[in-house]
Structure 1
Amino acid sequence: MAAKKKNNSYQELLAAMDVLEREKGIKKDVIIDALTDALANAYKKNYDDNNARVEVVIDDQTGAFKVYAFKKVVEEVSNPIEEISLRDALMVSHGYELGDDLRQEVTPANFGRIAAQTAKNVVLQKLREEERRIVYDKYKRLQDDLVDGEVAREDKHYIYINLGGGVEAAMNKHDQMPNEHYRVHDHVQVYVTRVLEETKGPQVFVSRTAPDLLKRLFEKEVPEISQGIVEIKGIVREAGDRAKVAVFSRDSNVDPVGTCVGPRGSRIQAIVNQLGGENIDIVKYEEDPELFIQNALNPAEVKEVLFDENNGEVEELEQTDENGEARQRVHHGCTVIVPDNQLSLAIGKRGQNVRLAAQLTGYSLDIKPLSELDNLTTDDESDEAVEKFEE
């Protein structure tokens, strides 16, 4: 009767492995490998305090298991736990020689109960690991993309967004929009910035302030961008307040700015609504730096751009190079001449317009009114410069 019960347990174990392989994608071989290691450790813990070399073999057809111990065949035994004399080995089989491993079955008679509990724990562990792997793979594929979520809770460091499937993403203060207030059950679109594989499950980090969130919104609202007709060349943001987006058309018949604005501003308005009213300037990208700077300072009118390649500022970027050192971007200097009545518009509130334009173009921009032109040129250059502006 006991043998029949044991056989039933073996069959139940095999059946469970088949279900996991079929429904969860966990290979039976993976479970058997993990189970043999766990049973070997269980044997050493309960039956072999000396930790001899043991191996557990599971029959993948019947589910039955056996425990084997190994001893090295030697001339003279110095460690009885790991060694056996050649004379004793020959009593087991005449085929043994010095240096061979003698393999003997040492399966305890009452090992079945421990084996059953061990098998259950291993299967459950593998199931948890596989579920974590599935979730990790899912969100790893969604990294650098938009996902929908619901505000679940908040602590002093993070707001936690429920992404479904029991996954909560963390959004720190830096990634939260300053013009937004998040309440439990609010639905939000967030940008997945990082996915880490942790022992307790994948850790997902999301953002509402990342420039690439704005890029994904444009791709979603403007078909010409997702089709590759219009290209986003650059995005800079002061999240929740203002952003500038540089766009370029690969088709001369397609206006990149008008395409992004949409009929009666419908496309850009949909994006603005997603960002709680953040102002977005759409800038036409130009290969000519002067034209690009003029466009970037929109809506201000620009009279002239005077370049000084020897004068620039160095910006430390968040990314690092292959040596782990902070990347740098050199902003070459230039002076931008604007009509006196356009000075405040070009600079913007608290310097925001010129600051974003500088980040977008990569130039350090010094805004000067036209009335100060004489101070920007030497005596030898003044007449030539004035004549150029008069023309």
Structure 2
Amino acid sequence: MKSELLLAISQLAAERGLPKEVVLRAVELAILSAYKKSEEMSKYDLSAHIDPKTGEISVFIEKRVTEEVKNPDKEISLEEAVKIKPDAQLGEVVKIKAPNVNPGRIGAQVAKQVILQKLKEAEKEIIYGEYSKKEGEIVSGVVQRMEHKNIIVDLGKTEAILPPHEQVKTERYKFGQRMKFYLFEVKMTSKEPQIILSRSHPNFVKKLLELEVPEIRNGIVEIKGVAREPGSRTKVAVRAKQSGVDPVGSCVGMRGIRIQNVVNELQGEKIDIIEWHHDPKVFIANTLSPGRILDVKLYEDEGRAEVIVPDNQLSLAIGKEGQNARLAAKLTGWKIDIKSLSEYEEERRREEERRRAEEAKAEAPEEAHVEEAAPSEGVIRFAEEILPKVETKKKPEKKAKKKFYEIKEEWEDWEE
């Protein structure tokens, strides 16, 4: 029949969700702490052991075997050690059973604190070990409360945090609401393990698809990339690893049931499933769907792609506020420049005119350049030689003066 101590240890282990050995070790340490609080035992090196079958508690004084004993409290001679342990040798630690002591009220309180502390440390290590293995996976939890804009989520064994930058702006989190989360990171702090969740991470969509699509879990269909604007739209590139498998159809499911389950979990976020292609031109054209693409020109040195679309498809290819083109650029890794057919033809016409003008200038006769050339060195030219000659009118001073004298003479003749 088990002792009351073992029954209490088993019950405590079940309540805390800890292994029985961990709780047993915590009790042993608590007993040691209580013994060390007594005056007669404080000077010794002690160890404690609880028999897991009978629950018997044993406390031992540990002494090292030496040739010459200098400290009787911590050392023992070989002659005395052989009496306790016949095969004892020099340098070995011999255990001597300690007498029973009454730890008193203070010792009991210390033992209680040690047990609680050790159990808490054990819980922290177990939780950290369990959830650190789940990093990058989907976990389910219940929304508990909000603290400083952080959403506190109950995961069952512990609580986790959904920080503001990992939340989706269009989502509303209600108390008691059960949701799925992406386990982003687990950090060990001085108080307890800190578990960081996310609802906005691109891998959240990827993991949700893995849950819904068996072909992805089994490796028949591979997710090549995810570009996401949380709460609005996500583009997912997939490819089939086996011939005869439709990767897009596998993800969408019969009547769209598979993709609809993912959309419902994301609270209405739109998801585009795109077939990946090894040819960048084809892949870029696929990512810009539903817009119709006429041509794709690649400029690999610049990492840029020029996409030509019909005039009536330009706004559809770009998307609302440029979202379709932006997500396509994220997914493909190319800078995408979308142009209408008329705009492209107009640019080509201007480029052709510029080219012809440059060719005509290069073929012009050299004489035309000679006339415009500056005068050669050593020749001096004056301004009179360059400026046009301007005829100036002479002032009629002499003619007026002559007429004045004629009138004067006529006047004098009349007076006579």
Tell me the TM-score normalised to structure 1 length.
Answer: 0.71
How high is the sequence identity, in percent, across the aligned residues?
41
Structure 1 residue 216 and structure 2 residue 207: aligned? yes
- Decide whether the 8 Å contact of 1:20 with 1:26 is kept in 2: no
**Partner SS state of residue 310, structure 1:** coil
RMSD across aligned positions (CA): 4.2
Instruction: Give the direction of change, closer, same or farther, for the CA distance of 1:248–1:100 in structure 2 (3 Å limit).
Output: closer
2: CA distance, partners of 1:273 / 1:98: 73
Structure 1 residue 349 and structure 2 residue 320: aligned? yes
Q: Which residue of 1 aligns with 2:173?
A: 182
Which amino acid letter does the alignment assign opposite residue 150 of structure 2? Y
Stretch deviating more after TM superposition (283-292 or 246-255): 246-255
Stretch deviating more after TM superposition (189-198 or 291-300): 189-198
- Deviation per CA, 1:115-164: give whole Å up to 9, x if none: 7766666665565555555655554454433333332111224111223x
Q: Which residue of 1 aligns with 2:280?
A: 289
Instruction: Give the direction of change, closer, same or farther, for the CA distance of 1:35–1:343 in structure 2 (3 Å limit).
Output: same
2: CA distance, partners of 1:36 / 1:240: 54
Instruction: Give the direction of change, closer, same or farther, for the CA distance of 1:275–1:22 in structure 2 (3 Å limit).
Output: closer
- Deviation per CA, 1:38-95: give whole Å up to 9, x if none: 4334333332697443334555546132331526646474x565457x69969x99x9
Which amino acid letter does the alignment assign opposite residue 153 of structure 2? I
Question: For 1:26, which of 19, 25, 29 is the aligned residue?
Answer: 19
**Partner SS state of residue 3, structure 2:** helix
Aligned residues: 349
- Decide whether the 8 Å contact of 1:73 with 1:101 is kept in 2: no
Stretch deviating more after TM superposition (138-147 or 153-162): 138-147
**Partner SS state of residue 36, structure 2:** helix
Instruction: Give the direction of change, closer, same or farther, for the CA distance of 1:25–1:182 in structure 2 (3 Å limit).
Output: closer
- Decide whether the 8 Å contact of 2:62 with 2:74 is kept in 1: no
Q: Which residue of 1 aligns with 2:301?
A: 310
**Partner SS state of residue 352, structure 1:** helix
Q: Which residue of 1 aligns with 2:59?
A: 66
Question: For 1:276, which of 256, 262, 267 is the aligned residue?
Answer: 267
**Partner SS state of residue 301, structure 2:** strand
- Decide whether the 8 Å contact of 1:75 with 1:98 is kept in 2: no
- Decide whether the 8 Å contact of 1:245 with 1:280 is kept in 2: yes
**Partner SS state of residue 324, structure 2:** helix
Q: Which residue of 2 aligns with 1:240?
A: 231
What is the deviation of 1:105? 4.7
- Deviation per CA, 1:161-199: give whole Å up to 9, x if none: 223x35322111111111112222333222222234556
- Decide whether the 8 Å contact of 1:69 with 1:106 is kept in 2: no
Structure 2: give runs of 5+ residues left out of the alignment: 357-416
**Partner SS state of residue 184, structure 1:** coil
Q: Which residue of 1 aligns with 2:344?
A: 372
Which amino acid letter does the alignment assign opposite residue 175 of structure 2? V
Which amino acid letter does the alignment assign opposite residue 331 of structure 2? L
Instruction: Give the direction of change, closer, same or farther, for the CA distance of 1:63–1:198 in structure 2 (3 Å limit).
Output: farther
Stretch deviating more after TM superposition (284-293 or 339-348): 339-348
- Deviation per CA, 1:203-227: give whole Å up to 9, x if none: 3322111222212332333344334
**Partner SS state of residue 47, structure 1:** coil
Instruction: Give the direction of change, closer, same or farther, for the CA distance of 1:52–1:245 in structure 2 (3 Å limit).
Output: same
- Decide whether the 8 Å contact of 2:33 with 2:111 is kept in 1: no
Structure 1: give runs of 5+ residues left out of the alignment: 1-7, 312-331, 384-391
Stretch deviating more after TM superposition (334-343 or 369-378): 369-378
1: CA distance, partners of 2:218 / 2:123: 35
1: CA distance, partners of 2:305 / 2:104: 81
What is the deviation of 1:201? 4.6
Question: For 1:160, which of 152, 155, 158 is the aligned residue?
Answer: 152
What is the deviation of 1:292? 0.3
Instruction: Give the direction of change, closer, same or farther, for the CA distance of 1:212–1:104 in structure 2 (3 Å limit).
Output: closer
**Partner SS state of residue 300, structure 2:** strand
| Aligned ranges 1:145-156 → 2 under 5 Å | 145-156=137-148
Instruction: Give the direction of change, closer, same or farther, for the CA distance of 1:116–1:62 in structure 2 (3 Å limit).
Output: farther
Which amino acid letter does the alignment assign opposite residue 323 of structure 2? Q
Q: Which residue of 2 aligns with 1:43?
A: 35
Instruction: Give the direction of change, closer, same or farther, for the CA distance of 1:310–1:192 in structure 2 (3 Å limit).
Output: same
Instruction: Give the direction of change, closer, same or farther, for the CA distance of 1:227–1:155 in structure 2 (3 Å limit).
Output: same
- Decide whether the 8 Å contact of 2:65 with 2:89 is kept in 1: no
2: CA distance, partners of 1:203 / 1:226: 29
Which amino acid letter does the alignment assign opposite residue 366 of structure 1? D
- Decide whether the 8 Å contact of 1:283 with 1:296 is kept in 2: yes
Q: Which residue of 2 aligns with 1:323?
A: none
Which amino acid letter does the alignment assign opposite residue 168 of structure 2? M
- Decide whether the 8 Å contact of 2:142 with 2:154 is kept in 1: yes
- Decide whether the 8 Å contact of 1:220 with 1:226 is kept in 2: yes
Q: Which has the higher strand share?
A: 1
Q: Which residue of 2 aligns with 1:361?
A: 332
1: CA distance, partners of 2:142 / 2:24: 40
- Decide whether the 8 Å contact of 1:31 with 1:122 is kept in 2: no
**Partner SS state of residue 66, structure 1:** strand
**Partner SS state of residue 194, structure 1:** strand
- Deviation per CA, 1:214-257: give whole Å up to 9, x if none: 12332333344334433322111000011111122344444332
2: CA distance, partners of 1:129 / 1:355: 48
Instruction: Give the direction of change, closer, same or farther, for the CA distance of 1:55–1:228 in structure 2 (3 Å limit).
Output: closer
Larger Rg: 2
Tell me the TM-score normalised to structure 2 length.
Answer: 0.68
